[in-house]
């Protein structure tokens, strides 16, 4: 998946993947991570998701990574937060005392620059990447966060019926990426109402990953 694909999506406002409210599965299951207030949550490939606002309202600190600077600018505008903008190597960090979003290629984000992370919330990152990139991404995420606990949401559907993104990530593939480093618990599996993009039946699956 070329970077230009996602940058063009934001430039042309083709963001049907952007939910108009906090994700219901986040609201329902994030508590299973058993985090204390003030814990720092990493949201990879975050866009301008309203999930970030929900996490902030629960008393968590949020950090994220996003390729599109347009998305990050809109995120802070919608949060009504004036960010401090700092160059961090090849990336640009937008942030204040409760939120830090790194703009640029997530693979250029270092563990040292990101800092300590207590948990990961991945709703739109793993499923946004083509199969050839997913192993690189998951290994980078594990290293970046020192195997922080994770709430992961995936899609499972017949990839032959519809090209991604979002891509199908099967239970077996989740295990291939994460079973060596995490205890994996499939918390829930729910049908996508009307099918994925109205084209084919799909399940949205909620995973809880805790370090061994």
Q: Binding site: residue ranges?
A: 10, 45, 66, 123
> According to DSSP H, which parts of 18-122 are helical?
24-29, 50-57, 69-79, 111-114
What distance in Å separates the CA atoms of residue 162 and residue 65, rounded to the nearest whole number?
27
**CA 104, CA 119: separation in Å to the nearest integer?**
21
Instruction: Write down the residue that tokens 């829930």 correspond to.
Output: 188
> Which residue has 């084209």 as its token pair?
199
Q: What is the DSSP letter of 14?
A: -
Mark the binding-site residues for S-adenosyl-L-methionine, compressed into ranges: 10, 45, 66, 123
**Count of beta carbons in the 10 Å neighbourhood of residue 205:** 20
């Amino acid at each position: 998946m070329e970077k230009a694909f996602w940058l063009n999506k934001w430039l042309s406002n083709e963001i049907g993947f952007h939910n108009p409210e906090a994700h219901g599965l986040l609201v329902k299951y994030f508590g299973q991570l058993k985090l204390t207030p003030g814990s720092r949550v990493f949201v990879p490939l975050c866009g301008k998701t309203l999930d970030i606002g929900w996490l902030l309202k629960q008393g968590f600190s949020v950090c994220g990574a996003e390729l599109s600077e347009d998305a990050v600018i809109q995120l802070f505008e919608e949060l009504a937060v004036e960010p401090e903008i700092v160059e961090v190597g090849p990336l640009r960090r937008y942030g204040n005392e409760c939120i830090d979003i790194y703009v640029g290629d997530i693979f250029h984000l270092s563990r040292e620059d990101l800092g300590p992370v207590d948990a990961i919330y991945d709703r739109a990152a793993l499923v946004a990447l083509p199969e050839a990139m997913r192993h690189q991404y998951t290994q980078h995420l594990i290293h970046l966060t020192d195997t922080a606990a994770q709430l992961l949401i995936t899609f499972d559907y017949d990839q032959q019926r519809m090209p991604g993104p979002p891509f199908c990530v099967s239970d077996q593939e989740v295990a291939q990426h994460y079973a060596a480093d995490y205890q994996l618990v499939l918390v829930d599996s729910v049908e996508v109402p009307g099918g994925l993009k109205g084209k084919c039946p799909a399940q949205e699956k909620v995973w809880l990953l805790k370090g061994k």
